Amino acid sequence: MRARLRAGDAAAFGRLFDEHARTVYRHAVRVTADWSTAEDVVSLTFHEAWRLRARLRPDGDSVLPWLLGIATNVLRNTSRAARRHQAALARLPLRDTVPDFSDEVVERLRDAEQLRAAAVALGRLRRREREVFTLCVWSGLDYAAAAEALGVPVGTVRSRLSRARVRLRALAETELRNARQSAPMRRETTP
């Protein structure tokens, strides 16, 4: 296994990842107490392992100590970068007032609700209508380019897009209405 890893065998490296990624992840979670950072550490560890594969000693039982050594160095670097970031933030001047983000949060929640409704509605369109809609509206292709991409006449793209817009508007409104009705009632309190 060590010889295959040192030679850059991708299958052996995949097996190494399958066998040890969870162990490296658990180690990183315990050190950082942060799941997201631990995921980054796993990614960086295996990236570094690939880069440093020629340094893997040809003898030995397990490659886990080598991997955890790399993970330890990655954790050191991650910690150092976090300290530098915090120090840079500490040098910034303090703001006298903290901005009120409540309106922005409410707007983002509303946007997320509308986006979910649109995604559900888009999923309910016929495949051909959905394809034309995503190519023309989301990807910005003109009718001719969408027709070329789909192998259909331009007129077909126009009619499918027209039908898709009408159906999508109705489906999204229905889905949004249903989502709002099924959402728990929020009680507003006054201080």
pLDDT in tens, 25-77: 999 988 888 899 999 999 999 999 999 888 888 887 788 888 999 999 999 99
107-190 in CATH: which number? 1.10.10.10
User: Domain coordinates of the chain in residue numbers?
Assistant: 1-93, 107-190
Q: What are phi and psi of 184, to 5 degrees?
A: -65, 145
**Res. 187 pLDDT band, cuts 50 70 90:** very low
The predicted structure's pLDDT at residue 152: 93
Helices 35-51 and 64-91 meet at what angle, rounded to 10? 120
Q: Output the pLDDT for position 43.
A: 95
Radius of gyration of the chain (CA): 26
27 vs 15, 40, 70, 82, CA distance in Å? 19, 12, 12, 18
> Is the pTM of the predicted complex or chain greater than 0.75?
no
Q: What is the rounded average pLDDT for all residues in the chain?
A: 85
Residue that wins the pLDDT comparison between 62 and 191: 62
Compute the 3-state secondary structure of the chain and give helix, strand, coil in percent, each to the nearest 5: 75, 0, 25
CATH class of 1-93: mainly alpha
- In the chain, what percentage of residues exceed pLDDT 90? 37
> Quick one: pLDDT at residue 184?
57
Range with lowest mean pLDDT among 53-62, 74-83, 120-129, 180-189: 180-189
Measured CA to CA, the distance from residue 163 to residue 173 in angstroms comes to: 16
pLDDT of residue 62: 83
The predicted-structure confidence for 68-113, as pLDDT tens digits, reads as follows 999 999 999 998 999 999 999 889 887 766 667 777 877 777 777 7
